[in-house]
Amino acid sequence: MTPAAIKSVQDMREEAKTWLAKQVQRTFPDAEPQVEIGLVDTRLRLGACEDFRFQLAPGARLWSGGSLGVQCVVPTQWTLYLTYQVQLSGPALSAAHPLPARHLLGPNDVVPAWVRYASDPGVYVREIPAGAVTQRPMSTNQPILIHDLILPDVVQAGAKVRVKVQGAGFSVAQEGKALNAAKAGGAVQVKMPTGRIVRGTANHAGEVEIRP
């Protein structure tokens, strides 16, 4: 990526904010991000930069805080790290009324809502999984997380599964063999065609998701 030349530290922060917002939207397309970039020490003096790139660390969380690398390539070389904070809001199902524990969820028990994600957006339930039972009592308007439910297995040991690797701005998929059974949101070990064992999280569709 080659944005316009940096004319000031503020320009760089604005470019970083725009770039990071795009990465969040690519990773979580149904969510609405609010991105803040941390302040830079005013005593810092950086050389003018005509070609710079942004980099996220492997495993960077795009729904909370982290560090964003800025690397200048032309005409001078320098690297700076900016702190960031992302607040994400998006769709989720909430309890339509108080729900007791061990309750089989039905259409009348939930309502669609727009919530602020306090953790990985992937754990917020958007559709009622078949056979889902509440694990604990829930209050009215409480967002329903996958961890709040008791679910049937969506991945069977020994079965072929689709493995999806998803990161900031990219997604790849390959088929492997599940080494253990898992419910949606549960950990799965998968043996890939190369013999490599990878670990990911089962989703509602019975796929295994890995986020680097």
Q: Is the pTM of this model over 0.85?
A: no
Is residue 114 within 8 Å of residue 93, measured between CB atoms? no
* Same structural domain, 95 and 74: no
What percentage of the chain exceeds 70 in pLDDT? 95
In a domain, 4, yes or no: no
In a domain, 206, yes or no: yes
* Same structural domain, 28 and 73: yes
* Same structural domain, 134 and 159: no
The CATH number of the domain holding residue 178 is: 2.30.30.760
In a domain, 2, yes or no: no
In angstroms, rounded to a whole number, what is the distance separating the alpha carbons of residues 1 and 141?
42
Domain stop point among 107, 131, 150: 150
* Same structural domain, 103 and 49: no
Please count the structural domains in the chain.
Answer: 3
Distances in Å between the alpha carbon of 113 and those of 100, 119, 124, 198? 20, 16, 11, 34
* Same structural domain, 13 and 57: yes
The pLDDT of 52-67, averaged and rounded, is 91
Domain stop point among 124, 150, 176: 150
DSSP β-bridge partners for residue 177: 160, 191
Q: 3 preceded by cis ω (within 30°)? A: no
* Three-class DSSP category at 162: strand
In a domain, 204, yes or no: yes
In angstroms, rounded to a whole number, what is the distance separating the alpha carbons of residues 168 and 88?
15
In a domain, 144, yes or no: yes
Q: Give the residue from 157, 164, 86 showing the smallest Cα distance to 118.
A: 86
Range of the domain at 17: 9-88
DSSP β-bridge partners for residue 187: 201
In a domain, 96, yes or no: yes
* Same structural domain, 165 and 111: no
* Same structural domain, 22 and 80: yes
* Same structural domain, 103 and 139: yes
* Same structural domain, 142 and 175: no
* Same structural domain, 116 and 169: no
In a domain, 1, yes or no: no
* Same structural domain, 73 and 110: no
Per-residue pLDDT tens over the stretch 157-192: 999 999 998 776 677 899 999 999 998 778 999 999
User: Does residue 203 surpass a pLDDT of 80?
Assistant: yes
Query: Residue 49's pLDDT band (boundaries 50, 70, 90)?
Result: confident
Q: Give the residue from 31, 22, 14 showing the smallest Cα distance to 56.
A: 22
User: Does residue 127 surpass a pLDDT of 50?
Assistant: yes
* Same structural domain, 110 and 144: yes
Q: Give the residue from 78, 49, 55, 79 showing the smallest Cα distance to 67.
A: 55
Q: Give the residue from 17, 76, 82, 36 showing the smallest Cα distance to 52.
A: 76
The pLDDT of 28-35, averaged and rounded, is 94
* Three-class DSSP category at 48: coil
Q: 75 preceded by cis ω (within 30°)? A: yes
The CATH number of the domain holding residue 142 is: 3.90.1210.10
DSSP state of 26: H
In a domain, 22, yes or no: yes
Q: How many helices (H) and strands (E) does the chain have?
A: 1, 14
HSE-CB at 95 with a 13 A cutoff on CA atoms is 20
